[in-house]
Amino acid sequence: MVQTIPAREISLYELEEKFGLQLATDTNLFTEWTENLPTLTDGEKQAIARVKSNYLNLSRHRLISEEAVKMVVLSPLLDLAGFYQLPFDIETETSVEISAEDESFIVKGNIDVLIIQKRFWVLVIESKSSKFDVMTALPQALAYMLDSPNPAQPTFGLLINGREFVFIKLIQQEYPWYVRSDALSIERDSELHQVLSILKRLGELIRNS
């Protein structure tokens, strides 16, 4: 009997058991979030200071919804990183379906934001309301990333709840494995600067590949 589960309900344990996913602990496997990051211009720093100010102002009144996180925080960061310009394209609510090797277990869902270059998946983004821990988005994002049409290439992911950001790198070889960054906070300028630098760095890697 085939079991179908929504991606938002998948657990890391189920991804490990059904798809062989493993967490790699070697930090040298994911240097893209720490090394050779581009320096931000004064204009870029001013722009993300505005993003921070907008988020903090709105969060004083209420918890920020998932849609507001996309609008207030994510959208301007993607703009600053150049993902709204060629050679990139953006899709929203992209349908995804992955199945275990014996096809007895199927995961279905929709990617919040998908950045692509031609057919290559550049960045899978899963957003949550500020009321949720950012890591609650990890299993869902990994499930989507496992469905990349180019499994020979690394796929990158970004988890965001407005307050925090976590980057993921997934590689599918003999078995799929992933590495994740530390959680970076919008409340610390250096870490918010790093978020934009990482996004710009990932864009550079794709352009130059």
Of 146, 119, 198, 102, the residue nearest 12 (C-alpha): 146
Which H or E run includes 57?
Answer: helix 42-59
pLDDT tens digits, 97-145: 999 877 788 999 999 999 999 878 999 999 999 999 999 999 999 999 9
Whole-Å CA distances, 182 to 27, 72, 153, 191: 11, 22, 23, 10
Q: Which residue has the tokens 């590495």?
A: 179
Look at residue 27 and tell me whether its pLDDT is greater than 90: no
DSSP code, position 29? G
DSSP code, position 37? P
ω before 139 within 30° of 0 (cis)?
no
What's the predicted TM-score (pTM) here?
Answer: 0.96
